[in-house]
Structure 1
Amino acid sequence: MGILDKLFGKKKKKKTSQEKIAKKPSVQKIKENKDVEGFINALKDENKDVRRNAAKALGNIKDERAVEPLINALKDEDGWVLRHAAEALVKIRDKRAVEPLINALKGVDSGVRIHAASALGKFGDNQAVEPLIQALKGGDSKVRQGAAIALGKLGDKRAVEPLVLALKDEYVGVRLWVAEALGKLGDNQAVEPLCKALKDEDSTFRRFVADALGKIGDNQAVEPLILALKDEYRYVREAAKKALEKIKQK
């Protein structure tokens, strides 16, 4: 069976889901049959669907021979190929991927930068902290959001001050994940700014802020959270109550 057949299956009569699952080759069989090279070659196919499926397959196989070809696929013109290549590199977890992902984060294409930020957060390498901090400061709002999420996952204290500043981002979608990241980092420097953010006009953001204050667990947040128990929205009040319970337990 050729590589295209493995990626898409032969065009015969439609099969049931059970039949498709039964016919699907296992990762172990793919390895045994040395199809890694076939999937690597498929990354250069003119058909974007072939390239997408090849990138996904290589991520599942987790063979180090695919690292350099997947790094090259980060330059693919198709956003989904790039996304699957970035996710595949995260699964393989080879350090060679970090610098190219950082370079992708520094690029001009917002879609590329978003996928790079996500991959760097999952990769867990602190080389990415400073580039992610820079990405948090400007450009597309989804890139800033992705940078905030990634910084929360990395857990590096260098991100605290930039994240505090980003609590004032003009887009609430960014502010939500900034608050979430600060909660994960658990640094007391964020408590006062988060307490002020409890007065933000967006109720969902106030809920995220209350959650973050509960995770940090600093007593400075008690009075502002007590005031938040009177918030007009129930989910904010519930978040404030849970946060107070967490602080009490610490």
Structure 2
Amino acid sequence: MSNGDDENAEDADASEETTALDADTLESRLDDVESAIEAAETEADLDDAEADLDSVEADVEAADLPEPEEEDEESREEQLTSRIEELRGALEEARGPYAEDVQDILDEAATKLRETRWTEDGEPDAATAAETFLDAAGEELDADFSAASDELEDLAAALEDVGETIVEGGSAVEGGLDPDEDAETIDALLEAAEELETGLEDAEEWSDLTVVEQLRAEGFYDRMNSENRKDYPPELTVIRVAESENDPERIVQALEKFESDFMQENCIDALRRLGSEEAFDIMHERAQKRNRPEIEVLGKIGDERAVDTLVEYVDSGNPPLQKVTLRALGEIGSEDATQAVANALADEQSVVRSQAARALGLIGDTRAIDPLSDVLGDESEENEVRASAAWALVQIGTELALEAAAEYDDDRAYTVQVEAEKARDASAA
């Protein structure tokens, strides 16, 4: 049971809460926050204004404000919420600047100096932009932030040193720069840092050049002259000159830069003819996408590092891919591929079985003699496949392999007879 005083107190509290959550009162409180932001002189002042703004926002969310009379009319809650967002923007603009803002720009600039590939003209421009900032920072803080040298790595380290000094403190700045006490200094450094940022953006990067400009700068066209320039486009002349001079690196360079099918095909054809080790990395990378021309080149290169990749395609069920892969594995000649290639002797497609047999002959692993002999002796097998098996046995060339092939010198298939006679002649020699 309550007395009258208690009821009066509850009514008073309810009345005060209603007043606090009244739309006009909330609007007035936002006016006070706006005035506080405009009058703020320190970060602490802004913190207080932000706390008041948070309080008003919470009350707006809790208030039971009237709905608008018209459907397309903005409600008081929406009006108040919109103004709160505007005041938060004003609050953010009023804060700072902070030393951390400067440090962020300097860290990004240091990373750009280190990781960007600059052109011959761009590198000195980038260095000048960094040196200009370091001079400005030294003058503003009455300190020496000179880099150890004019190398980009040393300039990047010097920029990071300035950023660390103004945030964490050092001999030039005790305890770091304070956003209230050192606002003018931070402003000046921020302006200089933004000029540094602009200077680096304006400095010419390698990626700013066209492909032709990049290649010209790298000397790609140096071997081309009026006497050997017979092809169009001129880049084709460069490829042919490079091939004639056994210069696979220049061809790989073109392969990486020119995307047209025409140039790609000519570059790969040249690399196939050269079979140079220098082309292995890019051919191996592309071969992992099951590109048949690149797999052919890997066969010509003959590097055993490709075997693990290629053996996975032997049972792919794609005859054109299987054929080129088996041929490449045979040319590479690694016995690590013997089992996978021998398994292909049972493939559904005769062209694959035939190529598998020939690949085993090129590899020369004596473990293949028995499966090849089985294929040769299989009367139901197609003659093309049996002839390939006989050829492979001759290529392996051991006494056992030659004996297995020589037995078929009167075979029904002329192509098998030819290989059997070669085996008999080799055995007699």
TM-score bracket for the superposition, by shorter chain length: 0.5 to 0.7
Q: CA deviation at 1:190?
A: 0.2
2:222 paired residue number: 34
Q: Which amino acid aligns with 2:304?
A: N
Gaps of 5+ in 2: 1-218, 227-231
Alignment of 1:69-108 (within 5 A): 69-72=253-256, 76=259, 78=261, 80-90=262-272, 91=274, 93=276, 95=278, 97-108=279-290
Q: Which amino acid aligns with 2:390?
A: A
Q: CA deviation at 1:115?
A: 0.8
Q: Is the 8 A contact 1:62 1:92 kept in 2?
A: no
2:62 paired residue number: none
Change (3 A) 1:52 1:205: farther
* Rounded Cα–Cα distance in structure 2 between residues aligned with 1:53 and 1:142: 31
Change (3 A) 1:140 1:59: farther
| Aligned pair partner of 2:298 in 120, 125, 128 | 120
| Aligned pair partner of 1:181 in 345, 351, 359 | 359
Q: CA deviation at 1:59?
A: 2.6
Q: Which amino acid aligns with 1:76?
A: E
Change (3 A) 1:36 1:88: farther
Give a deviation string over 1:3-41, Cα, whole Å, max 9, x none: xxxxxxxxxxxxxxxxxxxxxxxxxxxx9x824599xxx
Gaps of 5+ in 1: 1-30, 39-46
Q: Is the 8 A contact 1:207 1:236 kept in 2?
A: yes
1:66 paired residue number: 250
2:337 pairs with 1:170: no
Q: Is the 8 A contact 1:168 1:175 kept in 2?
A: yes
Alignment of 1:1-250 (within 5 A): 34-36=222-224, 55-63=239-247, 66-72=250-256, 76=259, 78=261, 80-90=262-272, 91=274, 93=276, 95=278, 97-108=279-290, 113-138=291-316, 140-198=318-376, 199=378, 201-221=381-401, 224-225=404-405, 227-249=407-429
* Rounded Cα–Cα distance in structure 2 between residues aligned with 1:103 and 1:87: 17
* TM value normalised by structure 2: 0.41
Q: CA deviation at 1:248?
A: 4.6
The structure whose Rg is larger is: 2
Q: CA deviation at 1:61?
A: 4.2
Q: Is the 8 A contact 2:255 2:263 kept in 1?
A: no
* Rounded Cα–Cα distance in structure 2 between residues aligned with 1:102 and 1:37: 33
Q: Is the 8 A contact 2:268 2:293 kept in 1?
A: yes
Q: Is the 8 A contact 2:390 2:420 kept in 1?
A: yes
Q: Which amino acid aligns with 1:149?
A: R
**Alignment size in residue pairs:** 202
**Secondary structure in structure 2 of the residue aligned to 1:167:** helix
**Secondary structure in structure 2 of the residue aligned to 1:138:** coil
* Rounded Cα–Cα distance in structure 1 between residues aligned with 2:423 and 2:305: 33
% identity of equivalent residues: 24
Q: Is the 8 A contact 2:313 2:322 kept in 1?
A: yes
* Rounded Cα–Cα distance in structure 2 between residues aligned with 1:147 and 1:248: 35
Q: Is the 8 A contact 1:219 1:247 kept in 2?
A: yes
Change (3 A) 1:50 1:116: same
Q: Is the 8 A contact 1:62 1:88 kept in 2?
A: no
* Rounded Cα–Cα distance in structure 2 between residues aligned with 1:92 and 1:181: 18
Q: CA deviation at 1:189?
A: 0.6
Q: Is the 8 A contact 1:121 1:149 kept in 2?
A: yes
Q: Is the 8 A contact 2:286 2:294 kept in 1?
A: yes
Q: Is the 8 A contact 1:52 1:81 kept in 2?
A: yes
Give a deviation string over 1:30-83, Cα, whole Å, max 9, x none: x9x824599xxxxxxxx9x7766654454334446624423316x8352x5333
